[in-house]
Chains A and B, each alone.
Chain A
Amino acid sequence: MIPVKKSLNECMDIIRSRPEFIKNIAHWETIPERKAKTVSFPDSIHPSLQQSLHKRGIEQLYSHQKEAFTAAVDDEQNVVVVTPTASGKTLCYNLPVLQEVTRNPNSRALYLFPTKALAQDQKSELTEWIEEAELDVNTYTYDGDTPSSIRQKIRKAGHVVMTNPDMLHSGVLPHHTKWVSLFENLKYVVIDEVHTYRGVFGSHVANVIRRLKRICRFYGSDPVFICTSATIANPKEIAEQLTGKPMRLIDNNGAPAGAKHFVFYNPPVVNKPLNVRRSATLEARNIAKLFLENEVQTIVFGRSRVRVEILLSYLQKIFQKKFGAPKIRGYRGGYLPKQRREIENGLRNGEVLGVVSTNALELGVDIGQLQVCVMTGYPGSVASTWQQAGRAGRRQGEAVIFLVASSSALDQYMIQNPDYFFTRTPERARINPNNLIILVDHLKCAAYELPFAKGEAFDGVEIEEVLDFLTDEQILHFQNEKWYWMNDSFPAYNISLRSASQENVVIIDQTEVANVRVIGEMDRFSAMTLLHDDAIYLHEGVQYHVDNLDWEEKKAYVRQVNVDHYTDAHMAVHLKVLETDEETVSAKAEFAYGEVTVNAMPTIYKKIKFETHENIGWGHIHLPEEELHTNAAWLSLPDAISSQLSEDHIEHGLIGIANVLRTTAPLFVMCDSSDLHVTPQVKAVHSGQPTIFLYDRYPGGIGLSENVYQSMGKLLQEAKALIQRCSCEAGCPSCVGSPEGAEESGKQAALKILNMIL
């Protein structure tokens, strides 16, 4: 029998016709189609460029494209363009740049993309245009893959150099004397996807830009910055923090878009007293299956690498007979670049029908036009959700997006309050370029690149004390009013922009003795819980058993296996307050913000069975403790309150509140839940009081906990409301966590404490 391929609309009809499916739909929002807003070309566009636009079938510009052109070219303003995916944002920077190079062939432009893949994408697009228009413009990507034979040519003659912040940091700036013609003539710096430069990474990148501007000044150039961003609350602010320049915000999107169906899907409750719902992973699998078996191109997002791999193995198993495995692919960090390029191409040309991805595909990697997007769990932020949703129906035509909620508090909150989601402004992106450790890292690099003169600031930041410190530490040498680099190392090599720890763990597959190979790598902190001895590690849907994690050598030796479970590891955390910077004390509660030391150590792991998700065993993890100095915000109960409560009550209440904060606090400060950790302590070491700590994961902090401190009152109100709204009896994973046989339920305990302090 030949299977009949159904259209997207037919699939939607099937969904609508299945009552058991319909009853789980909490909300169905149809976002109407949007018409284009176009304007005619500004007169100032160079005639040869106008011609080339005509050739490409472009007769008019979208309103935002014209505004960007006028601002960046005619007024030489720094701009940040905020538009959704597929709105022609690349034209917003390519047009000004080509205009400049056409008018003045000596001019240069530098493009920064968050990943190599994006740079390569954009390079092919721009090259195509240049060739069609027969313009005399040299465009190159410059990254770790660039052959050394053409590097010299790129440095001297590349009009447009496309790279990533990491390469700028370690491959360009420390060698600026080889790039004289670029730095002397740098007219435009394009920073694509500025919203991705947040947190630690963004704080690093802001410092790389400070270094870039410093080198430009040395060579006498002062480039105009053109930034683009996805929709976030503060694109102008983040672009200004990142570049240290005043920005003009351009957000009058004139591009058309097809209609979108946004479906909120809440899996049915399977355990009423515990308020546990059917697994989001399994439900997402079923939804994806429906579309995939009708050959509708579908992207499924999972929240973690493990989720992605589990979903992938489910879906590959289902479709193995029908299509063979290569039709359904996984996509996440840790895959080798070649693999990823292959998957991207497969999606564009239709060879790959379904892809299961982490947020790695949130970025503007060109994977063409998909029709269906399934999110397994709320992605954690409004901005992220829209980004992922944008993967379906990028240009025209209808698209459908499913948000499948998990049992977690945050997911349940979002799914039961669709208005909250659809009316809420997306989150703010935050960076802290002045995090002391990050700042000092880049001051070292900057001193290596060019000596600091006495009185010189680092893009406005006073740095003399730091330079004196580095002189005392024999890294710099002060002579004739200047600080010189005086060490044998190459500082940029020791500083990674992406992760707190430079050393990644390399994953080595030794299934075949004759063919031992590296299959990926992972940052050290993640490796503690994902690559410990006897962990089951999933890679491209294949299960591996970790035979040995060599912590000294940072190597994990794995072997392919086929088992019916996965592993889940736990960390023990000890926390000491070193100094309190700010505090708000009332009779009911004490809020504070300051510096802490955190000691973390993975303790045990559990083996959890697929499908049923039951616990079938456990083991110890033997790894050394990691120490972290950072900032934290905390909430303590004064004796007047705690004396009214039993110890048991306090313990369960704190654990419950911490559970809720773990999901709601990242919402308030727009960060990944792994960037902000929450730890309850019945007796805090520094005060002896019951306390809940929220701390920055990065050494020295990146401003998250400070923000938590400022909105602590609101945050606790929100937590209380969430617990009250939850329909469970005594606590569930959607609020304070499952009850553990205590006399009084965690839910009541948490509410009682919150009522007393608010």
Chain B
Amino acid sequence: MSLKGKLARFKNDIVTETRSQVTGQRHTASLDMAAKWAALQAEPFLFDGQTAWVRTVSYPLNTCHGRYPFSMLKEAVSAWNETEIDHPLSAKGLSFDELLFFDTETTGLGGGVGNTIFLIGCGRLLGDRVVVKQFFLPTPSDEVALYQAFLTDVKDLKNLVTYNGKAFDWPQIKTRHTFLREAVPNLPAFGHFDLLHASRRLWKDTLESNRLSVVERDILEFTRTGDTPGHLVPFYYFEYVKQQDPEIIRGVLEHNEYDILSLITLYSHLSQLILSRIPATAKEQYEIGRWYAYTGSEDKALESFLSISDAAGHEGRLANRNIAAIYKRQKRYDEAMMIWERLAETSATGDSELLIEMAKVFEHQYKDFRQALDCSKQAYRIEKQKSRVARRSQDGLGLENRINRLERKLFCS
């Protein structure tokens, strides 16, 4: 049997990939594609017989994208410059036009070498406008032109602002660049503000997911109309590659553009929240405090927690615990004890961890073993009650040891 016949016979065994889910409307071939690109505000970039399309769009700074105009970014950057706070999102020492908002579109998911970047989008504030530049790969054999265009235009990549760029976009750029490294300039040094990490910190528990589209809708109050769903992006591109009609890819270009514009608003919003320029919810304030604590800015953390110490409910209690923990570290035992005491009193089911904290201070700082013993015994009773309910027997908190030791100290000395 001919190879063709065999291939046809085994088709079900061989072709397991998802087929194109979109069909481009085939426009008459006589239409001038270059004119269509021009209508999309794109120009060709020619290099060594290859072509990349560079699309440039710009907006005045007073254009609103979601809850703010783009000009808010200027304010955010100057706000960072006015503070001494050390924070992962800090733009201190930078001017607003040095931030490069960056997002790519690829032919697939995952990080293998065959996942090609076909669109690199960059946005930045230049003078009185936001300028978005998109570098587009019209066929897979134009990659050298794509990277030439991108790397000659964007020389400084030290301040990328991305959404999951640390784990995805940037490694993928490096992967594709490795293929072409003989033919294109080297990748410059780069630095990252990855806003995915920021939204995870602030909204992980409150949003249905941390996808940019969800953050955009629920936090930035921006609604896209007629957007191309992310999972269809590769298929529109495959269709474009076959037909070469820019109409097919228009939706994808807009999708990428929206992503970049949203990154600007998101960065502005996050900066305002972190720097307390706008009111944050108790939950946000609490997470901002934790973030400060994580990066070692104890004073700022304390400030955040204190600002919600009177808040009702869960966040208020959590904030107070964190405040007490900071006080303890700062050896401000009296203040810490006051908070623990208050928390312990208002706890509905009793809180053995607080009592143990108190016992530790009584024992080691105040040398008041009786009080320490009282607290430990209270904690022990609470634990015992809990372990009956949960049918656990282990004394994971070492309470028995503590009580024994305290009794020895009290009665044997």
Contacts and interface: CB of A to CB of B under 8 A. Distances in A.
Nearest to B237: A486
A475 B242 contact: no
B190 interface: no
Contacts of B346: none
A436 B139 CA distance: 29
Nearest to A463: B3
A482 B1 CA distance: 28
Interface residues of A, number: 42
B189 to A, nearest CB: 18
A448 interface: yes
B18 A487 contact: yes
A489 B18 contact: yes
A28 interface: no
Interface string A174-185: 111110100000
A474 to B, nearest CB: 6
Interface in A174-221: 174-178, 180
Given A474-B20, A488-B109, A479 B179 contact: no
B18 A469 contact: no
B175 interface: yes
A474 B19 contact: yes
A378 B110 CA distance: 47
A475 B15 contact: yes
A177 B140 contact: no
Interface in B205-253: 234-235, 238, 241-242
Nearest to A628: B13
B111 interface: yes
Contacts of A484: 116, 140-141
B389 to A, nearest CB: 17
Interface in B136-179: 139-141, 174-175, 178-179
Interface residues of B, number: 38
A503 to B, nearest CB: 12
A490 B110 contact: yes
Contacts of A491: 17, 114
A477 B242 contact: yes
Given A177-B179, A489-B108, A490-B108, A579 B1 contact: yes
Interface string A693-716: 000000110000000000000000
Interface stretch (B4-12, B268-276, B290-298, B310-318): B4-12
A678 to B, nearest CB: 23
B394 interface: no
B78 interface: no
B9 A482 contact: no
Interface string B84-115: 00000000000000000000000111111111
B113 A174 contact: yes
A448 B179 contact: no
Interface in A474-506: 474-475, 477, 479-480, 482, 484-492, 494
A488 B18 contact: yes
B14 interface: yes
Nearest to B174: A177
A698 to B, nearest CB: 10
Given A174-B112, A175-B112, A490-B112, A469 B7 contact: yes
Given A440-B14, A449-B113, A474-B19, A480 B108 contact: no
Contacts of A176: 113
Contact of B114 (A178, A466, A485, A581): A485
A486 B19 CA distance: 11
Interface string B12-50: 011111111000000000000000000000000000000
A488 B10 contact: no
A488 B108 contact: yes
B165 to A, nearest CB: 17
Which of B11, B20, B113, B242 has the most chain A CB atoms closer than 10 A to its own CB? B113
A651 interface: no
A485 B112 CA distance: 12
Interface in A248-306: none
Interface string B378-413: 000000000000000000000000000000000000
Interface string B107-141: 11111111110000000000000000000000111
A491 B112 CA distance: 10
B235 A465 contact: no
Contacts of A440: 7, 10, 14
A159 interface: no
A486 B14 contact: no
A479 B139 contact: yes
Contacts of B11: 473
Interface in A411-463: 436-437, 440-441, 447-451
B3 A465 contact: yes
Interface in A566-581: 578-579, 581
B14 A482 contact: no
Contacts of A523: none
B3 A466 contact: yes
Given A175-B111, A175-B113, A180-B178, A629 B13 contact: yes
B174 to A, nearest CB: 7
A437 B14 CA distance: 6
A469 to B, nearest CB: 5
B114 A473 contact: no
B9 A578 contact: yes
Which of A466, A473, A474, A494 has the most chain B CB atoms closer than 10 A to its own CB? A474
A487 B141 contact: no
Contact of A174 (B13, B114, B178): B114
Contacts of A486: 107, 140, 238, 241
Nearest to A495: B16
Given A174-B113, A488-B109, A466 B241 contact: no
A595 interface: yes
Nearest to B172: A177
A663 B309 CA distance: 80
A58 to B, nearest CB: 42
Given A474-B20, A477-B140, A579-B1, A490 B6 contact: no
A488 to B, nearest CB: 4
Contacts of A466: 3, 7
A437 B15 CA distance: 10
Nearest to A171: B112
Nearest to B238: A486
Given A485-B114, A699-B13, A178 B175 contact: yes
A451 B7 CA distance: 21
A177 B113 contact: yes
A579 B13 CA distance: 18
A699 B10 contact: yes
Contacts of A177: 113, 174-175, 178-179
B230 to A, nearest CB: 11
A449 B174 CA distance: 15
Interface in A230-261: none
B13 to A, nearest CB: 5
A178 B107 CA distance: 19
Which of B10, B17, B238 has the most chain A CB atoms closer than 10 A to its own CB? B17
Interface string B176-190: 001100000000000
A486 B116 CA distance: 9
B15 A477 contact: no
Contacts of A469: 4, 7
Given A175-B111, A437-B10, 6 more contacts: A175-B112, A466-B3, A477-B139, A477-B238, A479-B140, A489-B17
The 7 A-B pairs with the shortest beta carbon distances in the complex, nearest first, are A448-B114, A177-B178, A484-B140, A488-B108, A488-B234, A174-B112, A480-B141
Interface of B: 1, 3-4, 6-7, 9-11, 13-20, 107-116, 139-141, 174-175, 178-179, 234-235, 238, 241-242
21 contacts: A175-B111, A436-B7, A465-B4, A465-B7, A469-B4, A469-B7, A473-B17, A474-B238, A475-B17, A479-B141, A480-B141, A482-B140, A485-B114, A487-B17, A488-B18, A488-B109, A488-B234, A488-B235, A489-B17, A491-B17, A699-B13
